[in-house]
Structure formats: C-alpha cells, structure tokens
C-alpha cells in the first residue's frame, strides 16, 4: 500500500521490451522507487540492472495476485499484438491485490478520440482497458498517450514512410499533416516524473496523482509532419531533396487498402491501416493541438529532432 503521500513500490510488466526498458531505467534513476519486473515463469529476457524480478503464471489468477501484493502501482507495457485478455487478467489481479494505481498499456495516439478509436481497433481495445479499470472500481488508472514511438517508426518504412536504403519516402497526402509523437527517453522521463508526484496535492493542485486519476495524460517529444522529418533526415545525412525519391499516397485510400487486406486475413495491412489513419488531415493525430500536453507540468525537456533522427540512423547502420 502507499506509504505516506508518495508511491514507492512499482511493478512493471514488459520491463525488458523497447518501451518498458526505458521506463524502468528512468524510474530507477529517480532513486525514489523499488521497481519489480513481473515476468513469465519461463522468461529469459534480459532486464535492466537494479530491478527485482517477480515470476508469475499469467494463466493463474492467484499467482498474479501474489505477484502484485504490496505494489503501489502497476505499469503495463505489452506488444500491440498481445491479445486483450492478457491485460484484462493483469487488471483484475491488480484490483484483487489492492494495487491502487494502474498505468494500462496505452502508449499510443489519442485513444480518447472517438473517431480514431472507432477506425483503429487496437486503439479501441486500449480505451476499453482503461474503462475496465474504472468499472471494476478497485484501482484507478492513468492512461499515458505518447503518440507513435519516433525511433521505431522512423526506422520502419511502413510507418513514417522512410526507406533509408533506397533513399525514398512515401508521404501521406501532401506530407504536411502534423502528428504528435515521442522518443523512448521522453516516455521514460514522463512516467518517472508522474510517479514521483505526491498522491494528494502539496501546494500546486495540478502536480499530484489525484489530478490525473482516471484520466488520459498527453506527453510528446515533437508534433511534426513528414516534411519536418525529411528536413531533419537531410540535415543529419548531409543529403539534399533531389537525392531522395518522394512519392505521395492518399491517407484515406491507404487506410482502406490496409483495412481490406486485414479483412482478407493479410495482417501486413495492419500498419497501412493504423499509420495512415493517424495521418488523416483532420488533426486526429495532433493531440498537442486538441488536448494540450502535460510536458510542462511534468517538467519534461524540449528535445532535439535532429539528435533523435541521428540516433535512429546510427541504429539502422548498426544492424546492417
């Protein structure tokens, strides 16, 4: 249970994954938390140094409840293709274990946008997870919206459209649609800052967990367009626009193509469907404009786009 007015014991599911590792490392850096990695019995995934390891049977409710005992907050980071029932099991067990706070597997564009959640099923399932926590009434949720992961998506031609080997980019529509997104580091900083806040206000009424109870929290590194990203790529690589092949595709047509492929059993249509929908020119991907962000409240730094781009390019070269 929470001791005093601060959270100390943090359990995290997915501590060895791309997003979970960064979150775990930044939590440990605060020196304010005891971080427990919840892992499967047979897991051999390397974990950040300094975490406690708690092995559980995901198919055994009591095993999960026992693993969550004494935790102040459960942070869930799961792969997007993990079936929703896994998260539901975690949520129910956290409630029965008396965990007061849950950060569900959100880490995405604006799932509170009804049109976006209607059109992208994975966003809808994230929204439903938060609603399940609220309905059970045993824990409170804070859903952190981060937009797409900048590093992962820039490296994937099916995401932001950049193919570094071919020096080509495919723009959604005119390439000027603004979309909010985050780096792994910024998300780690955001979670660490959030969970370091007092539970109840200590002066500033907004700088406490109570302010965020059963709400979405929006954070970002950048709200930029594909044109902005291309500009960064040109600066970092020392190339010029004529060196790149730029094509344009209708976001609406690409969304429908991806959806049709998925309905036909071809899951290669999933990224086409998801990314093109967020890049619709209707501001659905620009939550900084629609919702505002908590960057300032959480005292998150302003990041360098070119530094983030350079990190991605170095990673791409390293795996060649």
Stretch 205-217: mean pLDDT: 96
Read off the pLDDT of residues 13-47 as tens digits, 9 standing for 90 and up. 999 998 999 999 999 999 999 999 999 999 999 99
Q: What is the pLDDT of residue 238?
A: 97
Are 265 and 247 in contact, with CB atoms under 8 Å apart? Answer: no
Domains and CATH numbers, the chain: 9-145+184-218 (3.40.50.720), 150-180+222-290+302-318 (3.90.25.10)
Tokens 């992962």 correspond to what residue?
A: 152
Residue with tokens 């979309």: 179
Over the stretch 273-292, which tens digit does the pLDDT of each residue have? 999 999 999 999 999 999 99
List b or e across 259-274, with b for residues whose CB sees 16 or more CB atoms inside 10 angstroms: bebbeeeeeebbebbb
Q: State pTM to two decimals.
A: 0.95
pLDDT, tens digit, for every residue of 93-143?
A: 999 999 999 999 999 999 999 999 999 999 999 999 999 999 999 999 999
Residue 75 CB neighbours (<10 A)? 27
């Amino acid at each position: 249970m929470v001791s005093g007015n601060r959270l100390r014991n943090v359990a995290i599911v997915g501590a060895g994954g791309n997003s979970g590792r960064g979150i775990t490392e930044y939590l440990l850096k605060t020196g304010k938390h005891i971080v427990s990695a919840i892992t499967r019995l047979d897991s051999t995934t390397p974990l950040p140094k300094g975490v406690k390891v708690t092995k559980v049977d995901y198919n055994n409710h009591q095993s999960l409840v026992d693993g969550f005992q004494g935790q102040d907050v459960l942070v869930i980071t799961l792969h997007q293709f993990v079936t929703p029932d896994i998260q539901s099991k975690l949520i129910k067990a956290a409630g029965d274990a008396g965990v007061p706070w849950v950060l569900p597997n959100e880490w995405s564009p604006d799932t509170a946008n009804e049109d976006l959640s209607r059109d992208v099923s994975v966003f809808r399932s994230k929204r439903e997870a938060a609603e399940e926590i609220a309905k059970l009434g045993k824990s409170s949720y804070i859903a952190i919206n981060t937009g797409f992961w900048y590093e992962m998506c820039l490296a994937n031609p099916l995401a932001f459209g950049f193919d570094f080997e071919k020096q080509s980019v495919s723009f959604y529509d005119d390439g000027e649609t603004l979309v909010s997104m985050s780096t792994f580091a910024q998300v780690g900083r955001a979670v660490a800052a959030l969970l370091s806040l007092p539970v109840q206000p200590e002066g500033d009424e907004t700088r406490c967990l109570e302010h965020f109870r059963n709400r979405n929290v929006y954070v970002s590194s950048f709200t930029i367009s594909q044109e902005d990203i291309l500009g960064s790529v040109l600066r970092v690589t020392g190339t010029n626009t004529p060196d790149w092949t730029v094509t344009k595709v209708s976001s609406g047509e690409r969304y429908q193509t991806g959806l049709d492929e998925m309905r036909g059993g071809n899951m290669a249509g999933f990224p086409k469907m998801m990314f093109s929908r967020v890049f619709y020119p209707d501001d659905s991907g620009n939550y900084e404009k629609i919702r505002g962000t908590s960057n300032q409240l959480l005292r998150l730094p302003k990041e360098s786009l070119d530094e983030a781009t350079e990190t991605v390019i170095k990673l791409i070269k390293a795996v060649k």
